[in-house]
A and B are shown apart, each in its own frame.
Chain A
Amino acid sequence: MTVIQVVFFLVAAFTTAAAFLVVLAKNIVHCAIALVFTFFGVAALYVLLDAEFLAAVQVLLYVGGITILLLFAIMLTSRISARGVRVMNEQVGMSAVVVFAIFALLAIASLKGFALVGSPPPASYATASLGRLLLTTYVLPFEAVSILLLAAMVGAIILARREREKD
């Protein structure tokens, strides 16, 4: 086994363990903290895949943005983090079966379907070409996403705002 493989398996084990904790932990704040570690594991995998820019964006947006938003929401609705409350609903058994079936399907497909894809081409510094692609070929989706973000921002503010007393 080469060093890269060892690193990959370590990171993969770390990410999977953290992901399990996200889903299974009793306390919702522990879930959020485990989620941070999962995001970091995925960012490390991006680095292994020579996508440094995406790794930085992953940490910046998921850890610095989404997790903090989640933690804020948890703090604002903190009554539910009381102990002794049931965490899962009654669909656990059925969900486990369904999820396992989907996982088996995906695993078989990944093992059989992409056997022809061999070793990757030599790594190249891609950040500049990423930026160029975003502003040439993909400029329309880029603008559409900007408008979507604006709409989401306005929507979130209107939804979360306290309703004024009607005069």
Chain B
Amino acid sequence: MVPLSHYLILSAVLFAIGMFGALTRRNAIGILMALELMFNAVNLNFVAFSRYLPSTMLQGQIFAIFVITIAAAEAAVGLAIVLGLYRNFKTINVDEINLMKW
């Protein structure tokens, strides 16, 4: 059987990759994708814990369901914002959208 720490480290790897993407990507959609990666890493953690604790404790999976739902809402609103940005600035590179920075 695979020990719990393997899952946790894999999840940490995914989280780190996602975080790197969110910090370095210029494209707003790329940043959203990196965010989804981080959500997935967190979910993996939740599900792994819920599997390795007594089987009556399904809270991990319940939380994962809520996270997935909120990720869907986040993607919808985020992409709507990206479309709005594109309409106003003709670019979605976040380092070029600096109207509020003087």
Contact = CB atoms under 8 A, between A and B. Distances in A.
A23 B21 contact: yes
Chain B binding surface SS class: helix
A89 B24 contact: yes
A134 B62 CA distance: 7
A4 B2 contact: yes
Given A54-B43, A66-B72, A88-B25, 16 more contacts: A4-B2, A8-B6, A19-B14, A20-B17, A22-B33, A23-B21, A42-B44, A51-B64, A86-B26, A95-B20, A106-B8, A111-B5, A130-B61, A152-B76, A156-B80, A159-B80
Interface of B: 1-2, 4-10, 12-21, 23-27, 29-30, 32-34, 36-37, 40, 43-44, 47-48, 50-55, 58, 61-62, 64-66, 68-77, 79-84, 86-87, 90-93, 95
Interface of A: 2, 4-5, 8, 12, 15-16, 19-20, 22-23, 28, 31-32, 35, 38-39, 42, 45-46, 48-51, 53-54, 57-58, 61-62, 65-66, 69-70, 72-74, 76-77, 79-80, 86-89, 91-92, 95-96, 98-100, 102-103, 106-107, 110-111, 114-115, 117, 119-124, 126, 129-130, 133-134, 138, 141, 145, 148-149, 151-153, 155-157, 159-160, 162
28 contacts: A4-B2, A19-B17, A22-B17, A23-B20, A28-B30, A42-B40, A45-B10, A50-B51, A51-B47, A54-B65, A61-B68, A62-B40, A66-B36, A66-B71, A69-B75, A72-B79, A76-B86, A91-B23, A91-B24, A95-B23, A111-B9, A114-B4, A120-B1, A126-B58, A141-B66, A152-B74, A159-B81, A160-B79
